[in-house]
Chains A and B, each alone.
Chain A
């Protein structure tokens, strides 16, 4: 081979989406506000993880691991800032979600609704697992569990919500 350059971007047949300016920060802020707003009035909204869904959506769409993990970090730290958890708990979990989501989005087609549903369930459980691991390891709090029925239900609920949220956010993509 003449060239030593190695292509590390998404697969050639997978499209990288771009969004209008301000879409990402506005969406993130809106998700954080709603995440803080809903549980006040709806008790079951505690299972809702809008920041995670937003992080996952943009990671899958942008398909750039670096920007994905940075977005995850920002969203997670903001979520930590708005909650009572120490700074970094949600940050670490969402950083990993952003990185893995971007890496995965660069290799497989994540536009299909079923793929999005399954990915949302998987990443919700992964996010919760990382959060629990961090909590148990660093905070020495044993009350968090890795997998319970409510967690499983919450992952399905968030996946259902993602089925409506992701197509909505698709509308803010720049035309290719």
Chain B
């Protein structure tokens, strides 16, 4: 035990007695909000120690996280980059699926609007290796009831016709092919003429007399004269008109209504029954009722590019 010098005993006793009474007071006295003074003192005594402890812990955490912990940052960075790449691929995949869903939704709406017309949906699964021809393959064939010369459309408009049928796939000759053609008419004047492919993005509306009044932007519809497509399906719109003094007919360029360069899903018409066309959100404006057709030059017979059929 520590010996207290006798001359300090009374002073020590005094300090002890005074401190004891101060503590006694602190226990009794309540400050604001009814907190006992002893608690206030205790908190004020302890809080600096707590602050020091908190600063120490935070400093240690900062040091660990900012320096020592960085050893694993490179590894985490690599992992996160890999995850980001994977998510980018996944995002692109999902965006593609969303677009596909939109297209399929449009097809479904079109079919729903023409429930009385037999048609079958098909997916474009490939194209022709011949760059000079515009041919695509679809995943439907004779097993699905497809036959040669059936019309192929999208909700936007005419796509082409089936020219070869196999048990599980079929080949579609697109409108843009030089060998392709469809009986058509001008929506406003009802003047008829065949629309032929040119091998280029634009089609050609032929045998329209120079005396006819044709305007750029006018819709071109199927005439039904070719016995392949029903009447009044959208074919495209007039984008260019030229008169040839040496010829009695105009040179009319038509932009296809269907996106022939990016086909993914199509509808195959299983009948030549006239469609009671309704206006769909994605389709070009098409008159529902077709007035009486005016006399026009007959559409020439459409030559079959590949007459051979699998059957």
Contact = CB atoms under 8 A, between A and B. Distances in A.
B28 A86 contact: yes
Interface size for chain B: under 10, 10 to 19, 20 to 34, or 35 or more residues?
10 to 19
Interface of A: 6, 8, 64-66, 69-70, 73, 76-77, 86-89, 91-92, 95-96, 99, 102-103, 134, 138-140
Given A8-B6, A66-B10, A138 B25 contact: yes
24 contacts: A65-B13, A66-B9, A66-B13, A69-B13, A69-B14, A70-B17, A76-B21, A77-B21, A86-B25, A87-B21, A87-B24, A88-B21, A89-B25, A91-B24, A95-B17, A95-B18, A96-B14, A99-B10, A99-B14, A134-B25, A138-B22, A138-B25, A138-B37, A140-B31
Interface of B: 6-7, 9-11, 13-14, 17-18, 21-22, 24-26, 28-29, 31, 37
Closest 4 CB pairs of A and B: A65-B10, A88-B21, A88-B25, A86-B28
Given A6-B7, A66-B10, A95 B25 contact: no
Contact of B14 (A89, A95, A139): A95
Contact of A87 (B6, B18, B25): B25
A76 B21 CA distance: 10
A65 B22 contact: no
B21 A138 contact: no
Most buried by A among B13, B21, B29: B21
Contacts of A91: 21, 24
A87 B13 contact: no
B22 A92 contact: yes
A11 to B, nearest CB: 14
A115 B22 CA distance: 32
A139 B25 CA distance: 9
B7 A8 contact: yes
Contacts of B22: 88, 92, 138
A6 B13 CA distance: 19
Nearest to A76: B21
A96 B7 contact: no
B29 A92 contact: no
Given A65-B13, A65-B14, A134-B25, 19 more contacts: A6-B7, A8-B6, A69-B10, A69-B13, A69-B17, A70-B17, A73-B17, A73-B21, A76-B21, A86-B25, A86-B29, A87-B21, A87-B24, A88-B22, A92-B18, A99-B10, A102-B10, A138-B25, A138-B29
